[in-house]
Structure 1
Amino acid sequence: MATTDRQATTLALAHALSAAERGLAVLPLSRTKLPALRSPHHDDPGPTCHGECGRFGHGVYDASTDPARVREMFAAAPWATGYGIACGLPPYHLIGVDLDTKSGTDAPAALRELGLRHLFTVPDTVVVLTPSGGRHLWLTGPPDVVVPNSASRLAPGIDIRGAGGYLVGPGSRTAHGAYGTLPGTAHLPPAACPPALLRLLLPPPRTPHRALADHGHGLVHFVLTAHEGQRNTRLFWAACRAYENGLGPALATPLTEAARHTGLTEQEARATIASAARMTGHRP
């Protein structure tokens, strides 16, 4: 097993260096698909650090195109068997469209339906096959547009990886299997995101204060009416919508109180809201 892991690490490093040569910022991942390097601040309640301290362990903020730094990160994480590719960074400003096929969802069909409805076609681009049968489509965005992360906002099973997010790179090996490029797409450059699709990926325009307030009350009520088995899912969904609409900081406490009313602890509620903030590209 140890030999197999070393081989997986060596292969992941080789693929990561190749991606870095193409201008894609990378970081080492563990078999769980999470960043392999633990935060140096895990016992420090101080202000959030995104790598300003100079140490490794800041997740996607560690990502680099510098071969020497990439080698240093993998040397610090000899258990890494994969690598992540940071989204939203120059020169590609990568946008990842994650099409899931688990739980009975047909995300590719949902994306085609969106294309028919909004008059866009996804161009030929890099496609990465996941161990579960899903697909990651690589697209590029304009340099002056920040695409947030989202989960199933466009349609069930369609997740978006934008600024602050990352994609598992082809050649990675995880606990569930290996990631690889769809034959015939590895040589392609990431294609430009169709304008009509890009508009769908961006947060809705800010609405008048009263409408935002009503929306906030609706999200809190949605959490308050959750039954056992729905509480965490409803809270995560509501918190994602709150951050996407610019209400996250204002609604964090009301959502926490609503979740406590349904039976979640304050710690559970705040952890879920923080996860929603990270998923949508915001600081908790």
Structure 2
Amino acid sequence: MAITDRQTATLALAHALSAAERGLPVIPLSAGKLPALPSPHRNEDRPVTCRGTCGLPGHGVHDATTDPAAIRALFAAAPWATGYGIACGRPPHHLIGIDLDIDTTGRNDSAVSLQQLALHHLFTIPPTVTVLTPSGGRHIWLTGPPGVCVPNSASRLAPGIDIRGAGGYLVGPGSVTTRGTYRLAPGTADLPPAPCPRALLRLLTPPARPHHPSPRTDQGRGLVRFVLAAREGQRNTRLFWAACRAYEHGFGDALADALTHAAVRTGLTEREARATIASAARLTTG
């Protein structure tokens, strides 16, 4: 590794530790803005839904931590890291990132779209941490209330406006990427992330799905019985079919454990069962 690269990696670690001191969970990133550590499950035959419970690093944003020793260990395992990511939606800040991209002509029309949304829905973006991206865009940092899950989205709010919420991450200021360095906007370095305006928060959170307990419960029980009735040679097929139906009707995650237990009773291992259910989830919700 060249001296310049070592200096870049050292600075990335320093920036990450500084962010962690402010309660922001971090992970090392490569110059391509992706998590620097590869998945420990990448060579396994079946899809794995592990989110770090195996105890090994390499689970992307699920590795994010504020513990200095753990952060140093992550960066030591990825000496090629040139930046760091900050996990969104995690306590204590429950960070929400408003990512304003620029269009192909170099204009920042997404900023205009955000202003129009603010005027229409009667909110203002308060002074807050703002990060300038190498492409000319900007990341606006806001905080959400505990118990409110803001999902990630791309151009759902308006063209060119991406949202980083639960399960997502923001590239931290000071990170070096193939396109340049992420920097704090002048005048925002000493600001804390500001609370997200309520009107904007309502736009960012999808409406709750209608609750129909009786039909859903009956159908879920029927799918579990369908899996339990599987004979050898049918177990994976029946489990996959049942999981697909559950996800298509919006209660796949809620039924996943029951389907797993049923499949284990028919002779599948828990790992096989969860891999099959994960495949059904990707097929029906991807």
Partner of 1:93: 94
Distance 1:248 1:126, change over 3 A: farther
Gapped runs of 5+ residues in structure 2? 213-244, 251-277
CA distance in 2, matches of 1:158, 1:65: 28
CA contact (8 A) 1:102 1:132 kept: no
Q: Distance in 1 between matches of 2:81 and 2:194?
A: 29
Query: Does the C-alpha gap of structure 1 residues 73 and 208 become closer, same or farther in structure 2, counting only changes over 3 Å?
Result: closer
TM-score of the two chains, using structure 2 as the length reference: 0.73
1:229-248 matches, within 5 Å, as none
Whether 1:76 aligns to 2:77 is: yes
Equivalent AA in structure 1 for residue 71 of structure 2: V
Q: 2:248 aligned with 1:250, yes or no?
A: yes
CA distance in 2 between counterparts of 1:38 and 1:248 reads 31
Separation (CA, whole Å) in 1 of partners of 2:129 and 2:40: 34
Are 1:139 and 1:190, in contact at CA under 8 Å, matched by a contact in 2?
yes
Give the structure 1 partner of residue 104 of structure 2. Answer: 103
Match for residue 147 of structure 1?
150
1:275 Cα deviation from its structure 2 partner: 11
Matched residues in 1 for 2:118 and 2:284: separation?
27
Q: Is the 8 A contact 1:25 1:63 kept in 2?
A: yes
2: CA distance between counterparts of 1:102 and 1:19? 30
Residues 160/276 of structure 1: CA separation in 2 closer, same or farther (3 Å cut): farther
Distance 1:193 1:137 in 2: 10
Q: Which amino acid aligns with 1:197?
A: L
Asked whether 1:169 is paired with 2:172, we answer yes
1:38 partnered with 2:38 = yes
1:230 is aligned to: none
CA distance in 2, matches of 1:58, 1:115: 36
SS at match of 1:102: coil
Which residue number corresponds to residue 114 of structure 1?
A: 117
Which structure's CA Rg is the greater one? 2
Residue 60 (structure 1) aligns with:
61
Question: Which runs of no fewer than 5 residues in structure 1 stay unpaired?
Answer: 210-246, 253-269, 278-283
Q: Which amino acid in structure 2 is aligned with residue 123 of structure 1?
A: P
Partner of 1:26: 26
Q: CA deviation at 1:249?
A: 3.2
Task: Report what 1:50 is aligned to.
Answer: 51
Question: Residue 200 of structure 1 aligns with which residue?
Answer: 203
**Residues of 1 paired with 2:200 and 2:27: CA distance?**
28
1:14 and 1:171 map into 2 onto residues whose CA distance is: 9
Q: How many pairs were matched up?
A: 223
Distance of aligned partners of 1:275 and 1:170 in 2 relative to their CA distance in 1, 3 Å threshold = farther
Secondary structure in 2 matching 1:136: strand
Whole-angstrom CA distance in 2 between matches of 1:131 and 1:166: 17
Change (3 A) 1:68 1:77: same
Letter in structure 1 aligned against 2:248: A
Moved over 2 A (4+): 102-105, 204-209, 273-277
- The whole-number CA distance in structure 2 between the counterparts of 1:184 and 1:275 is 46
Percent identity reads 67
**C-alpha displacement of 1:6:** 1.1
How big is each residue's C-alpha offset from its partner over 1:96-118, in whole Å with a ceiling of 9 and x where there is no partner? 00000132461111000000000
Once the two structures are TM-superposed, the CA of residue 46 in structure 1 deviates from its matched residue by: 5.0
CA gap of 1:250–1:67, structure 2 versus 1, over 3 A, is same
Q: Deviations over 1:95-140 (max 9, x none)?
A: 0000001324611110000000000000000000000000000000
State the SS of the aligned residue for 2:200.
helix
1:47 shift after superposition: 3.6
Of the structure 1 ranges 180-189 and 43-52, higher mean CA displacement relative to structure 2 is found in 43-52
Structure 1 residues 276 and 195 mapped into 2: Cα distance closer, same or farther (>3 Å)?
farther
Shift of residue 192 of structure 1?
0.1
